[in-house]
Amino acid sequence: MCLALGLLLTGCSGKSRFSRDYDKLPKGSYSGKSYTVKRGDTLYYIAWITDNEVSDLARINKIPAPYNLDVGQKLRLSGGVTSKTATNRRKNSTSGTLLAKLPSPGASRCWRWPTNGKVVQNYSSADGGNKGIDIAGVRGQPIYTAAKGKVVYVGNQLRGYGNLIMIKHGEDFITAYAHNDTTVVRNGQDVKAGQKIGTMGSSGTHSVFLHFQIRYRATALDPQSYLPPRGSPPSC
């Protein structure tokens, strides 16, 4: 799964104050061809910040499930991803060829809204666009899992994200919940659809809201194309 995020507040640019570029954050301490495991790292987190797929990292580094890592372990990155190639990969993600491989909303799993509130920043497929949606609310408001899965990251290592939760759903999907005030789940925990995982906050930003993403392998999807209408339960 190629997963990368970033944060760019543009208060004077004429854009919404919630507008950010989630693909231009520094992606951690790694070269174009390798990554050294730090305390708290998971293979999903490393894939997220280095624009790699978990399956590729596991294969080329011969790491069997459940993908246990050792602090100081050096991982080879798939194809030696560089900033330039990662950018090209994101640009190509909007091509007709890749889009044809993406799951249609009707064929995907049953997603639930992760919290209540107005969407104040929509998804954008443009290079540097918002790779998810931002949902406004009040501090302490509950945040719920969008689907059944396993927690693969809880932490605040990714600058600009605040308290971040990542949940794996099967082998192909992952959801992300950023800027939490509190988190009530741990790495490796199995969670049910609609289970409370944290509360809304402003960690890593200046306003209270939830940044929510759905990713399919290498590509960020538009959550509103997959979520049910407001007030409606999942259709499955």
**Domains of the chain, CATH where assigned:** 110-226 (2.70.70.10)
The tens digit of pLDDT for each residue in 163-190 reads 999 999 988 899 999 999 999 999 999 9
Phi and psi, residue 92, nearest 5°: -70, -20
Reading the block at residue 59, the tokens are: 């294969």
Does residue 87 register a pLDDT over 50?
A: no
Does residue 122 register a pLDDT over 50?
A: yes
Q: Which is more confidently placed, 219 or 117?
A: 117
Does residue 139 register a pLDDT over 50?
A: yes
Q: Give the containing element (helix H, strand E) for 162.
A: none
Does residue 15 register a pLDDT over 90?
A: no
Lowest average pLDDT, out of 14-23, 24-33, 53-62, goes to 14-23
Tell me the three state secondary structure of residue 86.
Answer: helix
d(CA 191, CA 183) in angstroms, rounded, equals 13
pTM of the predicted structure, to 2 decimals: 0.73
pLDDT at 163: 94
Q: Which is more confidently placed, 94 or 126?
A: 126
Does residue 222 register a pLDDT over 80?
A: yes
pLDDT at 93: 42
